[in-house]
Structure 1
């Protein structure tokens, strides 16, 4: 079975420290921990097709329900042209 996350784009100046396919609720996701420009953060990535019926606020609420998201963490959400929705959190300046 081919991974639905095999084509997730990575900015050339971003270093992926760790990634793992997982499930969050009823959704397949790709979890990443990454480093960019002195910032370490984490992302939960959804295939856009899987969450097409959810509003951005619902996606954010789902991600916030995960125990890996630190309390009070800023969350950003971005729809990419490549067919994925990136939810970033746990920002830490190194």
Structure 2
């Protein structure tokens, strides 16, 4: 098993997934994605909801942030059996032109 576990994850129609990578973090299957949407570049850690059943949100965030630097600006959501932790938001102009 691996990345195919995430084949049915929802992706917004106007989101361009730039890179996907499967990881195992603390015994959980996690899909890491780099994406762009409406001039924003961001990253997501996507988990399978049933794998974290019974865990509270702070525990999940702590587990993921032990391996990934989420920073203080992140969002979480649940959709179609998946949990999305979105982080690392940057304006694509800052990346292309250089952040002064």
Structure 2 counterparts to residues 64-83 of structure 1, below 5 A:
64-66=65-67, 68-69=68-69, 72-80=71-79, 82-83=80-81
Poorly superposed stretches of 4+, deviation over 3 Å: none
What residue ranges of structure 1 are gaps of 5+ in the alignment?
Answer: none
* Greater helix content: 2
What TM-score results when the alignment is normalised by the length of structure 2?
0.83
Structure 2 counterparts to residues 40-79 of structure 1, below 5 A:
40-66=41-67, 68-69=68-69, 72-79=71-78
8 Å CA contact 1:73–1:91 kept in 2: the answer is: no
What TM-score results when the alignment is normalised by the length of structure 1?
0.88
What residue ranges of structure 2 are gaps of 5+ in the alignment?
Answer: 93-100
Specify the alignment match of 1:30 in structure 2. Answer: 31
Total equivalences in the alignment:
91
